[in-house]
Amino acid sequence: MFEHPAADSTAVCSARDEAKKNARSYFVVCDHSADLFLGYAVAAKRLKGQLDSLGIAPSLDSPLAAYIPCGVGGAPGGVTFGLKTIFGDAAKGWFAQSAQSPCMLLGMASGLHDNTKVEDIGLSGKTDADGLAVGRPSGLVSVMMEHLVSGIYTIADEEMYPLLALLKETEDIYIEPSAATGLLGPVIAAKVGEKAGIHICWATGGSMVPEEISLMHIKKGKRLLEGKA
């Protein structure tokens, strides 16, 4: 395992160089891998099985909306592609991004896709949502999602912590800050008048966070809920 102090793109380049030294290696990077993209899409099939077991069937009158944390875009793009393949227009994918690192939003809104990065518009790319701290989006996903994603919203770090603290308090489930971004989705969708009968917050991530760190996150969330910095 190698740890890099620089940004995601620098770490990826370094990892690619390391992989080239081993003839038996197979390098997978989420910004340009169709294999990885399709692997994420399988999650939609598994979700359908869970919904079937609960007697839940998305329809045009009661569509499913999935709110998925987004960094470079591989996971949310793959999941959205899978949902659209299975449910068609009865499924809607929303991407949640850090306010300091909204690379997919920037790439799609500008039409530049992976030919731009958040630093180009004066953003730092620094966020406690480390899984979303990506400055440049996947060109593959950005282009594919232009007509598939329903919306993209951003969330500040100080909004993530109260959400994860509330989830822990009400459901006894801990998720990391990156995963908490999806919890704001239903509120955003309602504000813009988006119709959805089934809300899925794709709250993955958190099981490998050390206990002392997770407790720190929860305490910070509670302080913010109480209006204390």
Q: 167 lies in a domain?
A: yes
> Model confidence over 156-176: pLDDT tens digits?
999 999 999 999 999 999 999
Q: 202 lies in a domain?
A: yes
Q: Supply the range of the domain harboring residue 108.
A: 8-18+26-225
Q: What pLDDT score does 12 carry?
A: 74
Interatomic CA distance for residues 18 and 14, integer angstroms: 6
Q: What pLDDT score does 2 carry?
A: 67
Q: What pLDDT score does 20 carry?
A: 83
Total domains in the fold of the chain: 1
> Model confidence over 60-93: pLDDT tens digits?
999 999 999 999 999 999 999 999 999 999 999 9
pTM over 0.85: yes
> Model confidence over 1-11: pLDDT tens digits?
667 666 666 77
Q: What pLDDT score does 196 carry?
A: 87
Q: 3 lies in a domain?
A: no
The CATH number of whichever domain residue 158 belongs to comes to 3.40.50.1100
When pLDDT is cut at 50, 70 and 90, the band that residue 56 belongs to is: very high
Q: 1 lies in a domain?
A: no
> Model confidence over 188-223: pLDDT tens digits?
999 999 988 999 999 888 888 999 999 999 999 999
pLDDT greater at residue 36 or residue 121: 121
For residue 14, pLDDT over 90 is answered with: no
Q: 2 lies in a domain?
A: no
Mean pLDDT of 99-105: 96
